[in-house]
Amino acid sequence: MKRILFSLLFASLLVIPVWAETDEQFEARLVEATDSSTPTVVHIWASWCHNCIVEFQDGGWPTFIKENPGIKFIFISTWGSDKDDVGLLGRNGINTKDLPNLEIWRHPNESSREGKRASSLLGVRFTWMPTTWVVRDTRMRYAINYGEVRFNMLEQMIKDSQSGQW
């Protein structure tokens, strides 16, 4: 009987998070993560979004991240992304094991309902998936808010966001 109770208790610890991050704590963590004189690329996406999935399938993201080892990349899933969001990225070569300059985050507000879902980060609204931002010193430098990223454009945005540029 003790073994069964212990097993049930242990299983519940695996399923029920001890500490759930609030939107405010998430935002503070993002501010801290982007507080650098080196640009950070923040990519906001959703696992149900066709444009996001198509963007991941061409292999451009893992290649681009590998080619820019001095840049931090933060992928944030939101708007009702399913629990396999990390698996979806991994199946497309986007993982922290092979890409040490990548962080994969899940926004704590998982709602996809209009009016209830997350709609801004770092004080900037986002209304479309995918959304890609270049941030330096916690300030937005460039934003691609309406669709898939073109990597040559993103490369130029990162270059123009380097410290001393503006």
The secondary structure of the chain in percent helix, strand, coil, rounded to multiples of 5, reads 35, 20, 45
Kindly report, residue by residue over 82-106, the tens digit of the pLDDT. 677 888 899 999 999 999 999 999 8
| pTM greater than the 0.75 cutoff | yes
Structure tokens at 105: 């985050």
Mean pLDDT lowest among 4-18, 20-34, 131-145:
4-18
At 22-62, the pLDDT tens digits run 888 999 999 999 999 999 999 999 888 888 888 888 888 99
Question: Is the distance from CB of 54 to CB of 86 less than 8 angstroms?
Answer: no
Angle of helix 50-57 relative to helix 60-67, nearest 10 degrees, comes to 60
CB burial of 52-76 (b: ≥16 within 10 Å; e: otherwise) equals beebbeeebbbebbeebeebbbbbb
CATH architecture of 39-160: 3-Layer(aba) Sandwich (3.40)
In the block, which residue shows the tokens 């123009």?
Answer: 160
